[in-house]
Amino acid sequence: MRDWRHHLHAHPETAYEEYATADFIAAKLGEWGIAVSRGLAGTGVIGTLRVGESGRAIGLRADMDALHLDESNRFTHTSRTAGKMHACGHDGHMAMLLGAASHLAQTRNFDGTVYFIFQPAEENEAGARRMTEEGLFELFPMDAVFGMHNFPMIPEGQIVVRPGPMMASADFFEVKVTGRGAHGAWPHTGIDAISIASEIVLAFNQIVARTIDPLESAVVSVTMFNAGHSTNVLPETATIAGSTRTFSLAVQDHLEQRMRQLCEGIAAAHGATVTFEYDRRYPPTLNHPAETEFAAAAAERIVGPDNVLRNERPVMGSEDFAWMLLRKAGSYVWIGNGPEHQGGCMLHNPGYDFNDRILPIGASYWVELAESWLSTERKDGDTQ
């Protein structure tokens, strides 16, 4: 697994360009006699391992893509592609799932079907949404689907499991205000797009404070404001953009609706026009309770009860595995990468690297999860 991981780290590919990565994965799965399907979401790879007669099935997912980032590390497996690197540990995720696939193909100690899902384009491009839209769960019918991500703030050897919200939604918006341009000396002859856009920014900042239940969590962040090119011209247009995050599907709906109302109302009050675009890129990652308890029990058998953390808080980061959880029961866990590894680098840092010492832990978790879900002692339809 270490050698596979180093190879993948040295040859990163970004969203929907994971052709060599997919070739590598498909070749390994084929070597072990696992049926390989390719092309879902462009570069996705699905391995199917069927043993026995049971109709039960489980899906295990790993993400494949790297980030647009110049790596600062100087070890032997440093990225060989300028401007691209595995700074989020997806190289380790693939290696762990390959390790589990190899073991399960050799031992075949289960009754049912394991689907090994290698998903492209997790970073920003919502490859999981595309996979589900292209028929992932229809073409590969499974009872539940499970995901895992390394996390540097968690000690090596520990796994975080929690039902309900695990990570936030990530939606992106753009607002374009169109007024009427004018000379800076005669502002009364125009409609000031900058002032109107500024009023919208201030109104957005009040949404969470005044329209969201204080017991809910939400963030509205305006991160871009573009207008004007001259010091003596009131521009015709002003554009603002940013993102929103929440753990609730209902709050997600409210944010979009309220932001649209504010834009349209403020623009109309000043005689301007406005366009509001809202892209629901990632929903909140919401773990299903029964499947999460099943995952926790499997994790305890690998790392021990004291190393399975059940009461950690969710984070405002996002994860497109959420799209799979909207369509299929399942659970998503974090595996500790160790805060001391690589000097404590956080994800998406040019100095980040996956901790090879946790490869056996993650692969063992996958194996335990699959074997226990497909145990010959369980009956079709069981979730516990």
Selection from 136, 159, 189, 152 nearest residue 325 by Cα = 136
- Which residues are CB-neighbours of 113 under 8 A, at least 6 positions away? 48, 49, 50, 51, 54, 56, 57, 58, 142, 374
Q: Is 236 a catalytic residue?
A: no
Residue in this structure with the two tokens 């270490």, named with its chain if needed: 2
Question: CA 1: distance to chain centroid?
Answer: 23
Catalytic position from the list 63, 71, 111, 122: 122
CA atoms of 330 and 268, how far apart (whole Å): 45
Report yes or no: 148 and 334 within 8 Å, Cβ to Cβ: yes
- Count other C-beta atoms under 10 Å from residue 54's C-beta: 17
> What is the C-alpha end-to-end distance of the chain, expressed in Å?
30
362: left (phi over 0), alpha (psi -120 to 50) or beta: alpha
Catalytic residue among 65, 71, 123, 192, which?
A: 65
CA nearest 83: which of 95, 98, 68?
Answer: 68
Tell me the chain's radius of gyration from C-alpha atoms: 24
For 227: left if phi > 0, alpha if psi spans -120 to 50, otherwise beta; the answer is beta
Task: Please give the full DSSP string across 98-166, using - where no structure is assigned.
Answer: HHHHHHHHHH--SSEEEEEEEE---SSS-HHHHHHHTTHHHHS--SEEEEEEEETTSPTT-EE--SEEE
Distances (CA, A) of 339 to 1, 5, 347: 22, 20, 11
The DSSP 8-state label assigned to residue 67 in this structure reads B
Catalytic annotation on 65? Answer: yes
Active site residues: 65, 122
